[in-house]
Amino acid sequence: MNAFDLTEDQHDCLQELINVAMGQASDQLARYLDTFVYLKVPSIEQVKAEHLFDTLNNDLKATAVVSQGFFGYEGIRGEALLMYQPQDSNRLADLLGYEADELTFDEQIIDLSSILTTTFLNVFASQIDNQMSYSAPRLLSSSLDKINQHLKQQSFNWDFALKVRISYQVTDYSFNCDMVLLIPEEAITNIKTVIDRILADF
């Protein structure tokens, strides 16, 4: 086991923190849209930097990707990617209650992404007595090369990352989107320290 690996207890604790944050984010989205949001069990996996883009390539069947960096205390940071399916792009105006020409597609999808990203991460942060700041959300091309280039411009400089994938399905609109969190190894080491404090209280 290297310093980055999670023990079973650490993994279970992180899974529970993610479940709570995911549930509250979906509840916020459901209230915002006045509909039901279905959640799949999130996936948590360790990826090497050189393999990350291959794993993203398997995830990316999207017409739009919104990227937003997040930064907390104690060295906790990462990047959130919100990915939307091509068949769902024309549903955004109805989904958000906008008139067809009220906002551009770019503005609509950034609006929705900000709701999901900030709600999830604010709840996650509150559970570990932390607080998040965010970079401005950025709409990327769905081209893997463009996403690769964007992520390389971030100040990660990591060999490993934790990849958390969460899928949201809005049933009344047959609308799906996926959120992928990329948390570099240094930040995971810091999260492990926080998780150990939580586990010690039980």
- What's the token pair of residue 165? 């994938």
Q: Distance (Å, rounded) from C-alpha 9 to C-alpha 94?
A: 43
Question: Quick one: 100 exposed, middle or buried, by C-beta within 10 A (0-12, 13-18, 19+)?
Answer: exposed
- What's the token pair of residue 166? 């969460």
pTM: 0.83
Taking 60 as the threshold, does the pLDDT of residue 89 lie above it?
Answer: no
Q: How confident is the model at residue 13 (pLDDT cuts 50, 70, 90)?
A: very high
The pLDDT value recorded for residue 53 is 67
| CA 86 and chain centroid, separation | 19
Q: Distance (Å, rounded) from C-alpha 125 to C-alpha 102?
A: 33
Residue type at 57 in one-letter notation: N
Taking 60 as the threshold, does the pLDDT of residue 121 lie above it?
Answer: yes
Taking 90 as the threshold, does the pLDDT of residue 3 lie above it?
Answer: no
Taking 70 as the threshold, does the pLDDT of residue 113 lie above it?
Answer: yes
CA atoms within 13 A on the CB side of 117: 30
Of 36-40, 87-91, 136-140, minimum mean pLDDT range:
87-91
Question: Bigger pLDDT: 94 or 132?
Answer: 132
Taken in order of first residue, the domains within the chain and their CATH numbers are: 8-200 (3.40.1550.10)
Taking 90 as the threshold, does the pLDDT of residue 108 lie above it?
Answer: no
Taking 80 as the threshold, does the pLDDT of residue 181 lie above it?
Answer: yes
Closest among 153, 162, 165 to 185, alpha carbons compared: 162
The pLDDT value recorded for residue 132 is 92
Mean pLDDT of the chain: 79
The pLDDT value recorded for residue 98 is 67
Range 175-198 average pLDDT: 86
